[in-house]
Amino acid sequence: MTAPGHRDGVEITVGYRGLGTQPDRLEQRTVAPAAGDAPPWDANTPLRAVGSDHDRVDGLAKASGRAKYTSDVTFPGLLQARILRSPVARGTLTTLELDAARALPGIAAVIALKQPGQRVRFVGDAIAAVAGTDLHRVRDALEAIRADYAAEPHTVDYLQHEDAPALAADGSIADAWPSSASVEQALAAAAQTHEATYRTEVQTHSSLESHGAVAKWNGDDLEVWCSTQATFGVRGELARALRGQRIDVGTLTVHAEFVGGGFGSKFGAGIEGLACCLLAREAKAPVKLMLDRFEEHTTTGNRPAALLQLRAGVDADGKLTAWDVRSFGGCGFNVEKGEGGGNVAVPDYYTKGAKTRRKHLDLATDTDPARPMRAPGYPQGWFGAELFLDELAAKAGIDPLEFRLRNDRDTMRLDQWRFGAERFGWAEARARRNEPGARLVRGVGLASARWGQLGNPGRQPHGIQCRIHQDGSVEVRSGAQDIGTGLKTVMVLITADELAIPPARVTAVTGHTGDPSGPGSGGSTTTPSLAPAVRHAAFLARQELAALLAKDLGADAAQVAFGDGTVTVGGRALSWADACKRIGPNPIDVRGKRFPNYDSEPFSAVVCGCQFAEVEVDTWTGLVRVVRMFGVQDCGLVIAKKLAESQVLGAMLQGISYALHEQRILDRTTGRMLNGDFLRYKILGSEDVPELGCHLMTVHNGHTSTPAAGLGEPPSVAAPAAVANAVFHALGAPVRHLPITPDKVLAALAARRQ
């Protein structure tokens, strides 16, 4: 297929191949690519590198320690820095005296981050910062700072907020439902109804690499190495904050070549990034400021807590006829700033024919503000909604899978349900019965997933630089960051396929704002936003090489063909290396861009999936162990299969950790976190990892030349709910409060026996 030179229609095949024995879901669509864009890949396009099991291209560098993260960056004379933080949860800073700290030996800079009279809003709020020759001296200087506060009454429990609902002794919301005539009528007419309350606790991000930065001034130019999910966002944020320092985006460069995760917490430079830059300016030396693990847990955001109440009804056929939801989010003091952040999402594809209502309220607390956390709001709401559906199905006498097949309106997920159930062995596992009085009991559960992003639609035409050198090596560059999901590998495989060369010839570089812009790594938008730009850059580079070879060998550019590491020019075959020797010392250097999504409707505007889990519960101790999980997941065009599978399996592990272990514990009297380390804040460990499996679906959505879709969020939505439903099946009683700790399991068993 040749590139369209104008907006004539191009016919492509969209959809997906059948799962297992199911039929293909393919159809023809006509799309109108923009002039100059690469021709669209569709379901009939033969691809070699894309979709393969290629290893992570930076895996060896990471495994060997050669990959340099922000915490690894060093320079001669590098100073270390720390932040003084408030011990008060709510109040006013009344005194701040820094001179004693400045006078200590080895201290190069001390700056105020708040001024007397300013508000303090949580334990850990940044007050001042110190840079010195080593961390021991810096800690001594922090102790020498005098900071006094006028403390005020505070609350760190959102359920103590004046607008919080009243709770009954069993934890259910006791307040009457607001009136809704349509919902009430549907409930009254239902063959079966159910009502229940669900609750989740705060989950911290627990990224492998902590937040922080290294700052180095060169006159009025500033270089910053930052552990971030948004290199260009950090550049813009710091340029605005440092405007008085004669800094703008043209004199500020941000680097994030390797990033140790973020999960939504690292979109900005944060107060730590700004403090690092200001300290370096005052000290006239490079400064490193990396947060410790306690600061990570307490000052860098979190997935907020949630309270969720549902009531619903079904007709005699098991179809939902009424669906009423109200929820509350506990998301820190950002509520008072008008930022919210605690919204709870629930699935809507089960309720198309039902009378529905949805209400939500965020409740402020004097705690660290919430930040986005992998699929913000979804795991909380899907846990409550999917467990509620299992409970309703049990009351109606319907198998949970059959209940979803009757109510799910998404054809793709219906295919996924059936395929996943067969691969998981749902019918057999569900039919197994635990021995009466057995200590160890097993159960299986399932849950759905959904996310709605197909990438940046082109409002910001992000770019990619592609260079072909005369030695045959190819360089592809993006200023966007790879936070560990595998963007570099995606760039390599797409480029290799477009140029018909082995991936080993391609090197990808990411994370430097001197390269073309890219989006922040959030909302599952990075790959679908940049994949078409990578294609376009490689497409332009191939065209330029074809024109050069045609001119050099006296042929027409249309007679130049690329394939299997060779280039054929008018019947003469050259190896890729021989072809590239004709480039000369100056490489082919082109810049591709991200064109807007096609005007036509995509085959599917959402990414969906489902997951199945089996658990074993010790009825004597209340301990829950996940035995195995299996997921089916769509992510548009599967580009790097091994990395995509890693995303799904990693999401399952994170979901198990959320379902069974993670909980921030705050002292209500002081407002301080009591388990702000990995000794007391439990996350999933290596011995907790179950048997995991997944099946990735390539879905050709037909929305761009390279129809990738997001994968960061979708698989994290279903996992906690699937585990909770498996626990419900094992116990015969639901645990409606995450994490599912032994005390809650034993309480559920005791309540069942009554």
CATH number (domain holding residue 86): 3.30.365.10
pLDDT of residue 454: 62
Same domain, 255 and 360: no
Identify the pLDDT of residue 297. 97
Instruction: State which of 596, 626, 643 marks the end of a domain.
Output: 596
The answer to the question of residue 148 being in a domain is yes
Q: Which of 234, 267, 290 is the last residue of a domain?
A: 290
- Do 189 and 250 have their domain in common? no
- Please report the pLDDT score of residue 509 as a whole number: 98
Bridge partners, residue 218, by sequence: 221
Q: Are 78 and 196 in the same domain?
A: no
Show the tokens assigned to 13. Answer: 């095949």
pLDDT digits (tens, 9 = 90+) for 638-662: 999 999 999 999 999 999 999 999 9
Q: Is the dihedral of CA 178, 180, 186, 189 positive or negative?
A: positive
Write the pLDDT tens digit of every residue in 361-386: 999 999 999 999 999 999 999 999 99
Range of the domain at 548: 457-596
Number of H helices, E strands in the chain: 17, 29
Beta strands in 620-690 (DSSP E): 624-634
Same domain, 652 and 726: yes
CA gap 381, 234 in Å, rounded: 31
One domain for residues 363 and 324: yes
pLDDT tens for 498-551 read 999 999 999 999 999 999 999 999 888 899 999 999 999 999 999 999 999 999
Report the number of distinct structural domains present in the chain.
3
Based on the domain organization, do 189 and 141 belong to the same domain?
no
On whether both 402 and 519 belong to a single domain, the answer is no
Angle between helices 714-731 and 378-396 (to 10 degrees): 40
Is residue 582 located within the same domain as residue 510?
A: yes
What is the rounded CA–CA span in Å between residue 716 and residue 635? 13
Residue in 690, 706, 671, 635 with CA at minimum distance from that of residue 491: 706
Would 445 be classed as within a structural domain?
yes
- pLDDT digits over 406-464, tens only? 999 999 999 999 999 999 999 999 999 999 999 999 999 999 999 986 655 555 679 99
Q: Which two tokens stand for residue 162?
A: 């004046």
CB atoms within 10 A of CB 18: 13
Q: Is residue 33 part of a domain?
A: no
Task: Give the pLDDT of residue 2.
Answer: 42
Q: Where residue 603 falls among pLDDT bands split at 50, 70, 90?
A: very high
How large is the average pLDDT for residues 100-128?
A: 98
As a whole number of angstroms, the distance between CA 399 and CA 33 comes to: 46
Q: Does residue 254 sit within a domain?
A: yes
Edge-first strand order for the sheet with 566-569 is: 560-563, 566-569, 572-575
- Note the pLDDT of residue 710: 86
Q: Let me know if residue 74 belongs to a domain.
A: yes
pLDDT tens for each residue of 323-336: 999 999 999 998 77
pLDDT tens-digit series, residues 658-676: 999 999 999 999 999 999 9
Q: Does residue 565 lie within any of the structural domains?
A: yes
Check the CA dihedral 642-603-344-376 and report its sign.
positive
State whether 433 and 326 are in the same domain.
yes
Q: Same structural domain for residues 199 and 308?
A: yes
- Predicted pLDDT at 238: 97
End-of-domain residue from the set 596, 613, 637: 596
pLDDT of residue 745 exceeding 80: yes
Is the domain of 381 the same as that of 503? Answer: no
Quickly count: other Cβ atoms within 10 Å of residue 338's Cβ: 6
Strand order in the sheet with 691-697: 440-451, 607-618, 624-634, 691-697
pLDDT (0 to 100) of residue 571: 87
**Spatial distance between the Cα atoms of 698 and 634, rounded to a whole number of angstroms:** 6
Compute the mean pLDDT over every residue in the chain, rounded to the nearest whole number. Answer: 95
**Are residues 227 and 114 part of one domain?**
yes
The candidate with the shortest Cα–Cα distance to 601, out of 6, 1, 3, 14, is 14
Q: Name, in order, each residue with C-beta under 8 angstroms of 247's C-beta and a sequence gap of 6 or more.
A: 220, 222, 238, 239
Tell whether 64 is covered by a domain.
no
- Are 724 and 740 in contact, with CB atoms under 8 Å apart? yes
User: What does the pLDDT read at residue 4?
Assistant: 43
In a domain, 25, yes or no: no
